[in-house]
Chains A and B, each alone.
Chain A
């Protein structure tokens, strides 16, 4: 049976050209960048080259780029470290996060709240991507410390108005973090233009290595570290640097940004083709956030008439097609997605299936994927 991978929003295969640039840093140039000797110097040079390349790709200064171990770590550092750096002894700071953030943002915010370190407030989001800022403004009294609004949502591809959040936060005196893990390389993004204070990105969503992420920290913005034991990454993320990972991450981001115009057009066309095919085939199908600005690579479906979303994904897998429910992080979980609930309410009768395309996806892949979804839906839908 032929298989089709349509889960690039979960993770992507590492690009061959990325593997090629990483390889020397696992063998020949293996030194510790902190070492005095030439091995260390060579590794350090590679690390700083990677930093500069990544900075250029996102419109940052190299001193603003901190290499960390993945997107979740970057989000945690931003939310907890950012809120702590902004807090004052006088009043409990407020952390404001959108309702559809990744759990790597939501859970640290809840954690701060539960520990009494900060008050967490959730900003409602509509399915057309509007933030209901008025709902969370009451009684802030200059306590707003950090606002976190993702650039693109991982489950639906919905693009959020980060510029609105920045304008609003600056009026409140809060810093702004954005998780751009699904946006970078898919939509135009420049940190300087956007004027965000903190930005998260990760390598494995765009053909880079896993376990390698970045936290952009605008010059002058303070973030407290969460782990200790060395001065690396300006003491924000101690530990011997993963040079090969940083090189691969920077290369993957550089390539994704450089190719953005052509790749976005191609991904959008693949996604739209898949979408049209399914809209044709499944009566009552809802394309989640279909009328809002979306990233080009994610198609989130609300499927009618299915009782068991988890079984739907298993059945799709048995057909040879990889897809996700909401996000990939809750495999086997019966609980619904907090994102779909925030956008469509808790009594939404539709199950969610996310199909996402990437640099190695072909036209026949999306045709095959759409057909498999249609077939499984026809078999499993009530009354069919």
Chain B
């Protein structure tokens, strides 16, 4: 068996992933990536080693009898994930920081550190699977439809796939919890984390205010308009709006209104009816492929947000780092900044960020 580095967040999934690998006889090394500080007062406390996730992971590692280390990636994470998150909102887009982290920070760092520690393989608690064949390694959806996390992993470098293990991808969430309880892991009944890890309060606008400063166009009042330019209201900062949103638009409309576009250059939030929210053309940039690059005319399925179903689409073209897709059926709230992930059945082909 081999030496495996397991990224342990302190949550139940990665705890069980580590446990399964121990059971399989691997030499397992647990690591937790310290990505940020909860504290807003870093002036004197230059380190914060007391993050709950780290403590939970340490306890689980101790239960499993494996070593555990903390990887401090705060600087890289801030630059590659948090700064991107903030600048995307400032540009009127809706970022997905988990995709960004997996593509740019987490796996890259794990692999580099794993190499230094003599590890052959890297494992995480994601609900996805990898299969190996003569044609290479494929990334597949996790078996549990309700938990599948393949949407977040399209940005992995293709050459990394053969080194990755996703032990819980073969299980359902309830099996994972059952397993954790059998092992008496402290994290067995920990609630699901829903929030973005660096926005524990859930109020991302608060983070934007802190990082953009009090005076920034994205946080200044602007107008709410219809697609034809008709003024229908005012808002307190376009960074608080995402395509498909209903909240915060004020009332008095004859029918339900949704955000259909954010225009940062004029600070306008454009609203429209449910019908106006649907679109059938998608442009995608920052592409990454886990298989060969698709060709124009290819029939694929595309997932446009986490937990949305993959829908039928045709590749129109792939040129100059941009791919255009024509959707079989118009979809609701195609949101710039979110990912478009291409599938063939359960297999992840790759993806990019929606323009």
Contact = CB atoms under 8 A, between A and B. Distances in A.
B117 A310 contact: no
Given A114-B43, A333-B47, A308 B116 contact: yes
Contacts of B71: 310, 332
A333 B69 CA distance: 11
B29 interface: yes
A332 B117 contact: no
Nearest to A311: B116
Given A311-B113, A314-B69, A111 B44 contact: yes
A379 interface: yes
B64 interface: no
B23 to A, nearest CB: 21
Contacts of A380: 116
A310 B67 CA distance: 15
A76 to B, nearest CB: 12
Nearest to B33: A332
Nearest to A107: B44
A107 B44 CA distance: 6
A204 B343 CA distance: 59
A334 B112 contact: no
B113 A308 contact: yes
A230 B29 CA distance: 48
A330 interface: yes
A270 B47 CA distance: 33
B132 interface: no
B302 to A, nearest CB: 38
Q: How large is the interface on A (under 10, 10 to 19, 20 to 34, 35 or more residues)?
A: 20 to 34
B58 to A, nearest CB: 11
A45 B169 CA distance: 65
Contacts of B113: 308, 311, 314
A332 B116 contact: no
B73 interface: yes
Residue of A110, A314, A334 most packed against chain B (CB within 10 A): A314
Residue of A111, A318, A330, A331 most packed against chain B (CB within 10 A): A318
B118 interface: yes
Contacts of A332: 34, 49, 69-72
A335 B42 CA distance: 14
A315 interface: yes
Contact of A110 (B44, B69, B117): B44
A46 to B, nearest CB: 35
A308 B112 contact: yes
Q: How large is the interface on B (under 10, 10 to 19, 20 to 34, 35 or more residues)?
A: 20 to 34
Contacts of B49: 331-332
A117 interface: no
A334 B75 contact: yes
Contacts of A111: 44
B220 interface: no
Interface in B37-67: 43-44, 46-47, 49, 67
A4 to B, nearest CB: 15
A317 interface: yes
Interface in B1-46: 29, 34, 43-44, 46
Interface string A280-311: 00000000000000000000000000001011
Interface string A98-136: 000001000100110010000000000000000000000
A317 B75 contact: no
B74 interface: yes
Nearest to B73: A334
Interface string A363-384: 0000000000000000110000
Contacts of A110: 43-44
A351 to B, nearest CB: 12
A331 B70 contact: yes
Contacts of B116: 308, 311-312, 314-315, 380
A110 B46 CA distance: 12
A329 B47 CA distance: 9
Given A107-B44, A114-B43, A318-B29, A334 B74 contact: yes
Contacts of A103: 46
A330 B47 contact: yes
B28 to A, nearest CB: 12
Interface in B97-123: 112-113, 116-118
Given A114-B43, A330-B47, A318 B117 contact: yes
Nearest to A314: B69
Interface in A303-356: 308, 310-312, 314-315, 317-318, 329-335
Given A318-B67, A333-B47, A310 B118 contact: no
Contacts of A312: 116
A379 B118 contact: yes
A238 B72 CA distance: 38
A91 to B, nearest CB: 25
A379 B118 CA distance: 9
Residue of A103, A107, A312, A332 most packed against chain B (CB within 10 A): A332
Contacts of A311: 113, 116-117
A315 B5 CA distance: 12
Contacts of A329: 47
B72 A314 contact: no
Contacts of A318: 29, 67, 117-118
A318 B5 CA distance: 12
A331 B74 CA distance: 14
Nearest to B69: A314
B239 to A, nearest CB: 30
Contacts of B70: 331-332
A310 B72 contact: yes
Nearest to A312: B116
A377 to B, nearest CB: 12
A319 B117 CA distance: 10
A108 to B, nearest CB: 9
Contact of A334 (B29, B67, B69, B72): B72
Contacts of A310: 69, 71-72
A57 B92 CA distance: 69
B344 to A, nearest CB: 38
A310 B113 CA distance: 9
A214 B73 CA distance: 37
Interface of A: 103, 107, 110-111, 114, 308, 310-312, 314-315, 317-318, 329-335, 379-380
Name the 6 nearest CB pairs between A and B, nearest first: A332-B70, A311-B116, A334-B72, A332-B72, A314-B69, A330-B47
Given A308-B112, A317-B67, 6 more contacts: A111-B44, A310-B69, A314-B116, A315-B118, A329-B47, A334-B75
13 contacts: A308-B113, A310-B72, A314-B69, A317-B69, A318-B67, A318-B118, A331-B70, A332-B34, A332-B49, A332-B69, A333-B72, A334-B74, A334-B75
